[in-house]
Amino acid sequence: MTSALSALPHRHVLTLPTGPGAVRLARETAERALAEWGIGERHPAVGPALLILSELVANSVRHAAEVSPRTTVVYAASPDCLVFAVHDRHPHRPRLSGPDGAGPGGLATVVELTHGLGGTAVVRGDADGRGKSVWITLPL
């Protein structure tokens, strides 16, 4: 994914405390970045993308804050796709599909919205096994 990410002309990285205000800050940063990159708020993918991002950051705050004091959000885009990832240092890697994955709640919403837009959702573990990133790719 790193080589594919580096091929995208627009990139931004935000590292923030895993706590109150994280969702708002991540969302506001996304809104500013998308506007700077010429992806208007009226684009049909923007509203769902912001909701997906909010759910992922909220999950980090809710489930990882105790062991991961910081969360990193990667934003990237090209004329035909939007990519973002939410990373924390909690070792649990949630399943996004299958009979045990994405049950009721935030991750189910993330998966439903992502697939509904024709996108992909992938969980990637850190090499040391102590963290993970949830990567979302949406077509524009």
The answer to whether residue 51 is domain-embedded is yes
Tell me the β-bridge partners of 136: 84, 121
The answer to whether residue 7 is domain-embedded is no
The answer to whether residue 1 is domain-embedded is no
| CATH number assigned to the domain comprising residue 20 | 3.30.565.10
Q: How many domains does the chain have?
A: 1
Q: Are 114 and 138 in contact (CB under 8 A)?
A: yes
Residue 107 has pLDDT above 90, yes or no: no
Residue with tokens 């684009």: 43
Confidence of residue 51 (pLDDT cuts 50, 70, 90): very high
- Give the pLDDT confidence score for residue 3 in this predicted structure: 58
The answer to whether residue 90 is domain-embedded is yes
Please give the structure tokens belonging to residue 46.
């923007």
Considering the chain, what is the average pLDDT of its residues? 90
Residue 18 has pLDDT above 80, yes or no: yes
Strands (E), 1-140: 10-17, 70-78, 81-88, 120-125, 132-139
Give helix 22-36 / helix 46-64 axis angle, nearest 10°. 150
Residue 62 has pLDDT above 70, yes or no: yes
The angle subtended at Cα 33 by Cα 31 and Cα 34, nearest 5°, is 65
The answer to whether residue 86 is domain-embedded is yes
Residue with tokens 């949406």: 138
Q: What does the pLDDT average to over 113-121?
A: 96
The answer to whether residue 127 is domain-embedded is yes
Residue 13 has pLDDT above 90, yes or no: yes
Residue 73 has pLDDT above 70, yes or no: yes
* 83-104 tens-digit pLDDT: 999 999 999 998 886 544 555 5
The answer to whether residue 5 is domain-embedded is no
Neighbouring CB atoms inside 10 A of 103's CB total 10
SS3 44: coil
The answer to whether residue 3 is domain-embedded is no
Domain range holding 78?
Answer: 12-139
- Give the pLDDT confidence score for residue 96 in this predicted structure: 80
Confidence of residue 7 (pLDDT cuts 50, 70, 90): confident
